[in-house]
Structure 1
């Protein structure tokens, strides 16, 4: 809904930079959780960003404005998750937005391993939505969209 408040002509292409951070931690109990899709958290962030922008009508693969997203932290463990990303909005050669954003979540870690793993899997994607919400709620991002 926040993207709906951007100017009508605000369109972005999306690029992701680099690979997953070297110290990705995604283990709930003894189960390792992989990113949806091709298994790359960086790719998942890019796809989630494209999906949100496309849903709101703000995605255009040929737009002059570009959002570059880079992950620097992914940690999903029993009862907690943290994700940190660096977002840069470029309009041609000029940088209009440049921030590192962080999202974290905490939830009850169930006693049963199967329930804990299921909760962790659900939270592993929800934490990325929280990170994107921080980006879209940032007034500086809205200003960079004009």
Structure 2
């Protein structure tokens, strides 16, 4: 009887371990917004953001036995697009009629919810065009580390909460590039 009881307890736990989880929604960074506001006068239209098929489709990220999915659309490229739109919109520099268009390609997107220390890494190519002229074309990357747990029930939710911070750091590195700021003005 004790063996049967243990099996009945482990079946739901094993089933939950293979579930899909959703990344936390993006929360715009106050620092990033301030940098954009200080760059005035700026008016930018946000174009398309796509996935680099060479590194996978970026529709989900493996988190131990789980898959983390984007809460925006069907990919993390759409998540990045939404993050850019949020920050540009709050900063008051987003304009659907702007002649300057920012687009991007998500190159790498990985979260390693390791035991002890977890790591999030993201890389994207950002392109700024004015008409047909490419004014900026550069790859930016960001990596963040945080404490993680042996227990997946703690490590997985923590990873989903940390993911937006990785994206904030990526966008901060973009906005800190003087060539990018010049290209959007």
Q: Same fold (TM over 0.5)?
A: yes
CA distance, structure 2, for counterparts of residue 116 and residue 72 of structure 1: 25
In the TM superposition, 1:52-63 aligns within 5 A as 52-63=87-98
Given the alignment of the two structures, is residue 3 of structure 1 paired with residue 36 of structure 2, yes or no?
A: yes
Instruction: Determine which of 45, 55, 62 is the counterpart of 2:80.
Output: 45
Given the alignment of the two structures, is residue 14 of structure 1 paired with residue 50 of structure 2, yes or no?
A: no
**Deviating 4+ runs (over 2 angstroms):** 16-25
Given the alignment of the two structures, is residue 130 of structure 1 paired with residue 163 of structure 2, yes or no?
A: no
In the TM superposition, 1:1-146 aligns within 5 A as 1-8=34-41, 10-19=42-51, 21=53, 22-23=55-56, 24=58, 26-78=61-113, 79-146=118-185
Q: Secondary structure at the match of 2:111?
A: strand
Q: Secondary structure at the match of 1:33?
A: strand
CA distance, structure 1, for counterparts of residue 48 and residue 121 of structure 2: 19
- What's the TM-score once normalised by structure 2's chain length? 0.73
- What's the TM-score once normalised by structure 1's chain length? 0.91
Contact 1:26/1:77 (<8 A) preserved? no
Contact 1:103/1:127 (<8 A) preserved? yes
Contact 1:97/1:144 (<8 A) preserved? yes
Contact 1:17/1:70 (<8 A) preserved? yes
CA distance, structure 1, for counterparts of residue 178 and residue 49 of structure 2: 24
Report the aligned-residue RMSD.
1.6
CA distance, structure 1, for counterparts of residue 173 and residue 109 of structure 2: 16
Q: Show structure 2 runs of 5+ residues with no match.
A: 1-33
Q: How many residues align?
A: 145
Q: Show structure 1 runs of 5+ residues with no match.
A: none
Structure with more helix by fraction: 2
CA distance, structure 1, for counterparts of residue 51 and residue 141 of structure 2: 18
Deviations 1:81-122 (A, max 9, x none): 111100011111111111000111111111221110111101
Contact 2:51/2:107 (<8 A) preserved? no
